[in-house]
Amino acid sequence: MNLSQFLLILRAHLKIILAIFGVTVVAALVVSLVLPKTYKATSSVVLNYKATDPVTGTMVTAQALPGYMPTQVDIINSRSTALAVVDALKLAQDPAVKESYANSNSQLDIRNWLAGILLGNLDAQASRDSSVIDITYKGRDPQTVATMANAFAEAYQQVSMQLKLDPTRKASAYFNDQIKVLRENYEQAQAKLSKYQQEHGITNLDNRVDVENNRLNDLSTQLVAAQGALAEAQSRRQAAGSAQNSPDVNANPLVQNLKANLAASEARFAQAAKRLGTQHPDYLNAKAEVDGLRAQLNAAIAATSASVATNASILQKREAEIRSEFNAQKQKVLELNRTRDELSVLSRDLDSAQRAYELTAQRFTQTNLEGQSNQSDISILASAMPPTAPSSPRLFINLILSMFVGLVLGVMAALGLELINRRVRSEADLVEGIGLPVLGTISHPAAQKGRDRRLGFGREPGAAPV
């Protein structure tokens, strides 16, 4: 079908098209005039929300929360918000509302019944790329719709604040319970540390450990020196077993003097023995002198050897005493180290308990203050005003739409009738219908007369039509 055929079809069914067009426009006009007027009022709120975890205190921006704005829209459209509006405006106490509720035979209570009706007329939409939400309420009375839109904005503030405060208050109660437990732990750790210090007499353990370590080092030095002296004394005592070869005996001045005197006396005795007889008084005196000096030398050697042995015994006893003191000091230092380790553990437990108690007390103070705060993160950007013009029905827009719809319906009706009863309306219809070329056309007399008139031809007066 080409454009010429389409226009011919519309021309043939022009009356039907106009009739449908007129009926549609009249129906739209009547409906627009008959329908009750509906008004809409919009209240805008802006969100300055900062998400804070009530336990950890971590701050999270609203942009980081997925689905944050849709969640806020759902809160506005929730039954809790509608119930808050019902309670704020005391709608359940209105006699007219009570009468309507009685006639409704609803299974719900009057508050939830009203909340359902209010939610049916509510529309909340979040602005794109912003923190503004428009709360729109529709109804038949301009003042009522403005009041309801503002009431929903205020109720949304209260419900949102309550949703924020409830977790904070629960967290505050949790911290309060934890503070009691942590305080007991802190007091127990403090009592354990104090008792341990009293039992061990600890005032300043670090200084005491340093003093005892220094004493242990001194005893260690003394022990090493005593062991060296003992080893030397034992070597001398072993050498003193052969008194004549003992270095201590040979180094003794008395022994050396006696040996010299004995050697001189023996020389004199040897000379007397050569000159005198054994019974000669000089011989006997020389022999007696030699024997006396020899006896003194032996006594001196014995005394010197005994003194070496005694010195070795004294050094051995001293070494044993120093060793005993060293071992006792070593055990004392080890005990102090063990005590210091235990004291360090108790001190760390006390510090940990104190830090946990202080941090929890700080978080409890913060959450307690937040739980008592009545400041909302939602502010009313623009309050709803009573509308001056109804939002529906819109007469002009409805007429424009009805004209368009009527025209479309008329054209569709014309095309439908043409398809049901196809007519030959042009040469193209014959060509498409029988598939043969057109040799000529005979115009309708009225059409021919109009064509002749347009071309300037006329019939002779009284001439008969051909």
Q: What is the pLDDT of residues 337-348, one digit of tens each?
A: 787 788 788 888
* pLDDT at residue 458, as a whole number: 46
Q: Is the pLDDT of residue 47 over 80?
A: yes
Q: 3-state SS of the chain: helix, strand, coil percent to 5?
A: 75, 10, 20
Q: Which residue has the higher pLDDT, 436 or 395?
A: 395
Assigned fold of 205-372: Helix Hairpins (1.10.287)
pLDDT value at 89 more than 60: yes
pLDDT at res. 455: 45
Other C-beta atoms lying within 10 Å of the C-beta of residue 160: 20
Closest C-alpha among 146, 147, 139 to residue 36:
139
Average pLDDT over residues 368-385: 78
Give domain limits for the chain: 37-173+376-406, 205-372
Is there a contact between 388 and 142 (Cβ–Cβ < 8 Å)? Answer: yes
Please give the Cα distance from 212 to 236 (Å, whole number). Answer: 36
Token pair in block for residue 396: 């002009």
Give residue 35's region: left, alpha or beta (phi > 0; psi -120 to 50): beta
Query: CA geometry: angle at 259 spanning 255 and 260, to 5°?
Result: 120
CATH number of 37-173+376-406, picked from 3.40.50, 3.30.1890, 1.10.3470, 3.40.1350? 3.30.1890
At residue 148, the pLDDT reads 92
Residue 50 β-bridge partners: 61
CB 172, CB 364: distance < 8 Å: yes
Model confidence band, residue 57 (pLDDT cutoffs 50, 70, 90): low
Mean pLDDT of 220-230: 78
Residue 240 has pLDDT above 50, yes or no: no
> Could you tell me which residue, 329 or 454, shows the higher pLDDT?
329
Residue 399 has pLDDT above 50, yes or no: yes
To the nearest whole percent, how much of the chain has pLDDT over 90? 9
Contact between 234 and 244 (Cβ < 8 Å): no
- Beta carbons within 10 angstroms of residue 51's beta carbon: 14
Q: How far apart are CA 36 and CA 340, in angstroms?
A: 91
Same fold, 37-173+376-406 and 205-372: no
Is-contact 290 271, C-beta < 8 A? no
Task: Write the pLDDT tens digit of every residue in 405-446.
Answer: 888 888 888 888 877 877 766 666 666 666 666 666 666 565
Residue 460 has pLDDT above 80, yes or no: no
> For the residues 50-60, what does the mean pLDDT come to?
52
Looking at residue 334, its pLDDT comes to 83
Mean pLDDT of 292-300: 74
Burial classification of residue 33, based on how many CB atoms lie within 10 Å of its CB (0-12 exposed, 13-18 middle, 19 or more buried): exposed
Categorize the per-residue pLDDT at 373 as very low, low, confident or very high, splitting at 50, 70 and 90. Answer: low
The rounded distance, in Å, linking the Cα atoms of 115 and 106 is 13
Of the candidates 350, 358, 453, 381, which has an alpha carbon nearest to the alpha carbon of residue 48?
381
- What is the gyration radius of the CA atoms in the chain, in angstroms? 64
The average pLDDT across 135-164 equals 89
Taking residues 111-120, report their average pLDDT. Answer: 91
145 vs 336, higher pLDDT: 145
What is the spatial distance between Cα 346 and Cα 246, in angstroms, rounded to a whole number? 63
- Residue 464: the pLDDT is 37
Residue 419 CA to residue 367 CA, distance in Å, equals 78
Q: Decide: 391 and 38 in contact? Cβ < 8 Å.
A: yes
Would you state the pLDDT for residue 465?
Answer: 38
Bigger pLDDT: 276 vs 411:
411
pLDDT at 394: 72
| pLDDT band, residue 226 (cuts 50/70/90) | confident
Q: Highest mean pLDDT: which of 89-98, 204-213, 258-267, 438-447?
A: 89-98
- Summarised one tens digit per residue, pLDDT across range 314-325 is 777 878 888 888
**Predicted local distance difference test score (pLDDT) of residue 447:** 52
Q: What is the DSSP string of 52-75?
A: E-TTT--EEEGGGSTTHHHHHHHH
Detail the DSSP E strand segments found in 100-224: 122-126, 132-139
Q: How many CB atoms lie within 10 A of CB 110?
A: 19
Reported as a single tens digit per residue, the pLDDT across 150-198 is: 999 999 988 888 888 888 788 888 888 888 888 888 888 888 888 877 8
According to the model, what pLDDT value does residue 252 have? 62
Predicted confidence at residue 459, as pLDDT, reads 45
The mean predicted confidence, pLDDT, of the chain is 77
pLDDT at 206 over 70: no
Tens of pLDDT, residues 1-14: 667 777 777 777 78
Query: What three-state secondary structure class fits 158?
Result: helix
What pTM value is reported for the model?
A: 0.51
